[in-house]
Structure 1
């Protein structure tokens, strides 16, 4: 059920129309970064705020979204706003245990919780991310320069010089960002255990922690992504890890993220989400209603006849073996084991960004209208969401 969305200014345009997931470099820079450290905005209608992703800590559901909004469901079923020390748009959330979890957001923010989602504190922000990336590329430059001093093979020298130029270009970009301020959004987080997590984002950003988030390491060089395309979603089961992204990017790892292989993608357009079903089949989906399933860990894919051209954001497997995939315009795809698709539409007509199964036949979605239910609840709140979603 992994999905991702970018800068809030583009989120509303992308999320609610054609979905690209990072700020255009030509966009006017916002130099006000108080949102990084400003507490999340309180709301009297927390369930109706824009929400991007929802996850379980094993005991309760936690959803994240706009203005640093994190909400968790208590034992009575009510939703309570968490204490969050940032008001950036939060794009993803994942838990390693009932207590330990991470969330990511815009302006390079990574948050963590030690109490199951009641309180969230910053472990990283965009200023620190720039320092990490600059040191990473400076080290690469030093290594390449040392190799060039002793290398005699002309072809190898040419390749090393190209790599050196690319690393220096990356440093130049960071130096510009240092003057203008951080703008890179993180787009997804994968919590492996209480010590290990992976964070991915715009322009190929890829980080790992092995000490609970006390330190984050840049590992972008582990992926074959010379174009610096956006990384949109990361999922895992056991030692099998997968990443999907812009321009059909698709990567796999068979050793818990230590080494990565770029796979041949079934689609050249952006892939926004991915999930693994009960049989460990890989499902990926994205632009224009494109969805695919692989029974061999991404070596080959079969296209799903979705019957829709709306963007697809996230999905989940049910206990009965069906797949649920959500997207724009209230779209819910229900896919059976024979890959037959039942096209459902939520009456809100809203953009939906994530989905979880609450009970058999009962699902909970996040999106532009906040929390939405299936079957749709006939309440004043959901009726209002329906009206807003149809606008």
Structure 2
């Protein structure tokens, strides 16, 4: 048997051992304050809506006062019961049935039936830290994040939440605003003051060098390893390899901040933002402005956009509005402004 090699300095050898990972810390998801449920209102469709998604069966939009609206066709809409009146800021669905929404008062709600009914998973107004968005990779692994470095994760579909231990991303306490999963499986999070964080597993996070010092509000994957990031004052950047950097600035020809985006099947990306701006970024990174559909004029900020079988639907200060592009013609019908019951949704 070969002789064992023992370091002369046992203390030095111990110092070289990698530190043990920190124990997960339970997120402060509970409060002694009971949430008030959202009020059913015929005016909800006219109010501020902040995010929208298409589940494969329904359009789901969320916004102020806990309002959630659902539609099968983008024309007729219904309001559903929601267990909190907190403003809802972000949505994430992983299939036609399972989705999560987050918002003010550190609220997290969940649906397992395609958005028809919702249950409360977290609510803590005493934190005074709103959640800005949510991202789920599947029905179990998800993240909720927001103001002043608020960053939670779950491995059981939201039954329990723990705080993310990511000093490289959280040490300054910057706001966290958007997240995606790149085509190669890595997670990319963006936020205030040019914050870019990358993780291979959602547990260990590193900081990336940023091409811009202002805030990013969202991110989309691009190609196998790349991404498009967008944010304040018309700033948008693209790279073919996030880890390698080499970001290229996209000339959007506007100083309006960009708040939402959607990747089209042809490789183009639709961006929406302040001043009712809707832009198409082509695969060659040229940009064209998009007009509203046939006299349906939006005003103010547009915060989200999604494609469904009827075309493109946006949300923002003017509620829900249809848009069209050359590759996504819109069904020639105006959104019904009177909310229906949920019986047919």
Give the TM-score normalised by the residue count of structure 1. Answer: 0.70
- Quick one: distance in 2 between partners of 1:77 and 1:349? 19
- Quick one: distance in 2 between partners of 1:193 and 1:332? 30
Q: Deviations over 1:197-246 (max 9, x none)?
A: 11111000110111121111011435433210000111114522110000
Q: What is the deviation of 1:327?
A: 0.5
1:244 matched to 2:190? yes
| Structure ID, larger Rg | 2
1:309 matched to 2:258? no
- Quick one: distance in 1 between partners of 2:276 and 2:115? 28
- Quick one: distance in 1 between partners of 2:38 and 2:234? 34
SS in structure 1 opposite 2:97?
Answer: coil
- Quick one: distance in 1 between partners of 2:256 and 2:73? 36
Contiguous gaps of at least 5 residues in structure 2: 1-30, 325-329, 338-345
* Alignment length (residue pairs): 296
Which stretch of structure 1 is more off in the superposition, 276-285 or 314-323? 276-285
Name the CA shift for 1:315/1:75 in 2 (closer, same or farther; >3 Å): closer
Q: What is the deviation of 1:77?
A: 4.8
Which stretch of structure 1 is more off in the superposition, 67-76 or 34-43? 34-43
Q: Which residue of 2 aligns with 1:147?
A: none
2:55–2:96 CA contact under 8 A, matched in 1: yes
Q: Which residue of 2 aligns with 1:97?
A: 95
1:330–1:345 CA contact under 8 A, matched in 2: no
SS in structure 1 opposite 2:132?
Answer: strand
Q: Which residue of 1 aligns with 2:220?
A: 275
1:363 matched to 2:308? no
2:75–2:333 CA contact under 8 A, matched in 1: no
Q: Which residue of 2 aligns with 1:106?
A: 104
Higher share of residues assigned helix = 1
Give the TM-score normalised by the residue count of structure 2. Answer: 0.79
Which stretch of structure 1 is more off in the superposition, 198-207 or 329-338? 329-338
Which stretch of structure 1 is more off in the superposition, 54-63 or 220-229? 220-229
1:324 matched to 2:322? no
SS in structure 2 opposite 1:87?
Answer: coil
Q: Which residue of 2 aligns with 1:348?
A: 298
1:86 matched to 2:35? no
Aligned to 1:297, which of 242, 246, 255? 242
2:75–2:335 CA contact under 8 A, matched in 1: no
Contiguous gaps of at least 5 residues in structure 1: 1-32, 128-180, 384-391
Q: Which residue of 2 aligns with 1:224?
A: 169
Q: Which residue of 2 aligns with 1:199?
A: 144
Aligned to 2:59, which of 55, 58, 61? 61
Q: Which residue of 2 aligns with 1:168?
A: none
Q: What is the deviation of 1:38?
A: 1.0
- Quick one: distance in 1 between partners of 2:48 and 2:97? 25
